[in-house]
Amino acid sequence: MRLTQTLFRALQHPILDRHLQDSAAMSMGVAIVRKVMREHATTENGLRTKDIYELALKEPAPQDFQTVLPISNIPTPPPHPEHPIRSKVFLKEVLSHLEGYRDIRLVREVKPRENSTVTDAVFLWKLVDKSLFRKPQEIKPQKPTLSKAIGGHDDWSHLNKRRQRGRRAKILTALREFKGKPVDLSPV
């Protein structure tokens, strides 16, 4: 197929660009999926994508919700254009956002079929227990020193070697001068 034919078909049938995102639908979709996961899933048992989709569609769309994407121009519109979660494809984008926020995670589990010895692999979205994450270390305030006050801890890497040696000598002589004299170390 030639390039002109490809371009002509693209003009005839514009398709929603996956990277063109509706920020209102994304933020409202994230809120709806968080609510569904809080109410129906735990860290032990999760929900399949199909179950999350069904439960999310049962949640009412906000009154002021209106999509900005041109849904009427595409040949096969999404199944629920009036809802923030308009399709399963969009739900998967919302779930990947929540996975990036580390709110949920995708887990593969092996479950037996009912009344059978055969097992099936099932992918479940589970909530993440954020209390297990490492806490950031507290930053301890350091006591100001005299050398810091006169520039001893500054970055001199932009200076050439001769000037670095001179700066070091200036700070050492300043420290010798201040020794024994009261110095105010309050930040400027």
Tokens of 51: 């179950």
- Percent pLDDT > 90 in the chain is 34
- Residue 18 pLDDT greater than 50, yes or no: no
In the predicted structure, residue 17 carries a pLDDT above the cut 80: no
Output 35 or 19, whichever has higher pLDDT.
35
Grade residue 19 by pLDDT with cuts at 50, 70 and 90. Answer: very low
- Please state whether 118 falls in left (phi above 0), alpha (psi between -120 and 50) or beta: beta
Q: Which phi and psi (to 5°) does residue 25 adopt?
A: -65, -35
More confident position, 183 or 106: 106
Question: pLDDT per residue over 95-149, tens digit each?
Answer: 999 999 999 999 999 888 888 888 899 999 999 988 888 888 888 887 777 777 7
| Integer Cα distance of 53 and 115 in angstroms | 27
pTM: 0.62
> Residue length, the chain?
188
Domains of the chain in start order, with CATH, are: 7-130 (1.10.10), 146-178 (no CATH)
Please state, as a whole number, how many other Cβ atoms lie within 10 Å of the Cβ of residue 178.
14
Say if residues 74 and 16 touch (Cβ distance below 8 Å).
yes
- Are 61 and 82 spatial neighbours (Cβ–Cβ below 8 Å)? yes
Contact 185, 146 (CB under 8 A): yes
Closest to 141 (Cα-Cα) out of 178, 86, 187:
187
Q: How far apart are CA 64 and CA 175, in angstroms?
A: 66
**Considering only 13-17, 25-29, 80-84, 150-154, which range has the smallest mean pLDDT?**
13-17
Q: Up-side HSE of residue 125: CA atoms within 13 Å toward CB?
A: 25
For residues 104 and 37, the answer to whether their CB atoms sit within 8 Å is yes
DSSP-assigned beta bridge partners for residue 82: none
Give the CA-trace dihedral at 32, 87, 25, 73, to 10 degrees. Answer: -160
Helix, strand, coil percentages in the chain from 3-state DSSP, rounded to 5? 40, 10, 50
